Amino acid sequence: MKGYPMKQINQIILLIYLFTNCLSHAMWKDRVRHLLERDADVNKEIVTPLLWADNDQEANANLFLKKGANVNVTITNDGVHTNWMPLHVAAYNGQKSRANSLLNEGADINVATEHGDTPLLWAMRKGHKPVVKLLLKNGANVNIANESGDTSLHYAAINNHKAIVRLFLEKGADVNIANKRGWTPLHMAVENQYKAIARLLLEKGADVNIATKRGWTPLHKAVKNQYKAIARLLLEKGANMNVASKNGHTPLYVATREGHEAIARLLLERGANVNAANKYGDTPLLWATREGHKPVVKLLLKAGANVNAANNRGLTPLHAAAYTNQETIINLFLYRCANANAATSDGDYIPLYKAVKNQYKPIVKLLLEKGADVNAVITNGPFAGYAPLDLAVTKGHKSIARLLLEKVANVKYYQ
């Protein structure tokens, strides 16, 4: 390496040491000691020796410290680990002994990386419990959040570390702290079906009805994921079963939309509002019908769902059933006096019209038997002015046209 200053040569050798293992650690240790005795700069490089000395190189890390290595030196621009310090690396790698040495030498325990992660956050994210306990023992702040708003308690909850969750709470962790999306540790526990942690958080004062930015409570999460046991726990702890999200979705609405019959039954037994509509006017019955969840539809009807409840467009459950060719459900609705002639708000849709258009002959017959107006005229849309017979002829549905003619339809197309 002729022509290079001795100090630069020494730095290069130190870096080679860090990223190779081809020689014995004993040999490298002797070489490192020799270089340090000759005043190699242990703090100059972007990635310093102290930052990346590995688990098997504890002795060399101690040599760097004795030689005056800066325990709070940072990586400034390697593109990945910006503003990382040796303590971050030790926490990330689960190096308890290294972390302890750094703390004894004055390492900043609450320093954050570019993305806001402290050593405690990294230790918790990686699941290194011994390092977590060490950092807590030395006064790490449990409520510092990273750029996503997540705290160590969030990560403990999402990774199912019950003992650490308890420890954080004992150290003053805010049980209701929310991240940037409004998720609390309880949301995390429920989302991942960690019932024991959810129970612990609730026992320690977690707000059972706290909502995310979208207005979703822990109960919404439990219902959507079909976690019946957790849903029951939340209800026992006072969860509001009729709370609505920003879009007006109640837990029952979510359960019926997803087809979760058992959870829907649980909510109804606890008194959930069977006719609560979202901001579009959609009721649980409308969505259960639209999705074809027949058992849920029957459950809702038994609980008193309004079969004629229309949304903001005037769509009723009968419209949805006719549109999706659900003969059995239509029978159920008509038996409960569903309006067979209900029109949408803009007049472009009646149940019979959709059945004719989609060539659902059994449903056409059923609607006619239950009083559907064979001469009802569409008042809006591409088929404005059309009666069901007009549409059947236009579409070439001959058998349906014959059926309509039998019901004394206006035969202007044949005149």
In a domain, residue 87? The reply is: yes
CATH number of 374's domain: 1.25.40.20
- Token pair 């070489």: residue: 31
Q: Distance (Å, rounded) from C-alpha 289 to C-alpha 309?
A: 13
Q: Which of 5, 50, 58, 3 is nearest to 29 (CA)?
A: 58
Please report whether residue 167 resides in a domain. no
51: Cβ contacts below 8 Å, ≥ 6 apart: 73, 75, 84, 85, 86, 89
Same domain for 109 and 1? Answer: yes
**pLDDT band (50, 70, 90) for residue 16:** very low
Q: Are residue 296 and residue 320 in the same domain, yes or no?
A: no
Q: Please report whether residue 193 resides in a domain.
A: no
Q: At which of 92, 114, 136 does a domain end?
A: 114
pLDDT tens per residue across span 79-105: 566 788 889 989 999 999 989 989 998
Total number of domains in the chain:
3
pTM: 0.82
Angstrom distance (rounded) from CA 239 to CA 217: 9
> Over the chain, what is the mean pLDDT?
85
Average pLDDT score over residue span 334-355: 88
The answer to whether residue 197 is domain-embedded is no
Residue 316 to residue 333: CA distance in whole angstroms: 10
What's the burial of 239, exposed, middle or buried (CB within 10 Å: 0-12/13-18/19+)?
buried
- Both 292 and 314 in a single domain? no
Kindly state whether residues 276 and 319 are assigned to the same domain.
no
Q: Is residue 123 part of a domain?
A: no
The predicted pLDDT at position 338 comes to 95
Residue 70, domain member (yes or no): yes
Whether residue 6 is found in the same domain as residue 93: yes
183 is a domain residue: no
Q: Are residues 291 and 318 in the same domain?
A: no
pLDDT at 57 over 50: no
For residues 377 and 291, state if they share a domain.
no
Residues 286 and 338 in one domain: no
Same domain membership, residue 401 and residue 295: no
Would you say residue 414 has pLDDT above 50?
Answer: no
Q: Crossing angle, helix 195-203 and helix 228-236, to 10 degrees?
A: 10
Task: State whether 314 and 282 are in the same domain.
Answer: no
Structural domain range at position 34: 1-114
Q: Which of 262, 283, 305 is the last residue of a domain?
A: 305
Same structural domain, 294 and 345: no
The stretch 393-407 carries a mean pLDDT of 89
The answer to whether 342 and 318 are in contact (CB under 8 A) is yes
107-135 tens-digit pLDDT:
999 999 989 999 999 999 999 999 999 99
Among the three residues 114, 145, 165, which one is the final residue of a domain in this structure? 114
- DSSP secondary structure letters along 51-85: HH--GGGHHHHHHHHHTT--TT----SSSSSTT--
User: What mean pLDDT is predicted for residues 218-223?
Assistant: 98
Q: Is residue 198, in this structure, part of any structural domain at all? A: no
- What span, in angstroms and rounded, lies between the C-alpha atoms of 156 and 55? 25
d(CA 200, CA 165): 8
Residues 275 and 327 in one domain: no
pLDDT of residue 250: 98
Instruction: Report pLDDT digits (tens) over 167-181.
Output: 999 999 999 999 999
Containing H/E element for 388? Answer: helix 388-395
User: Counting Cβ atoms within 10 Å, is residue 387 exposed (0-12), middle (13-18) or buried (19+)?
Assistant: buried
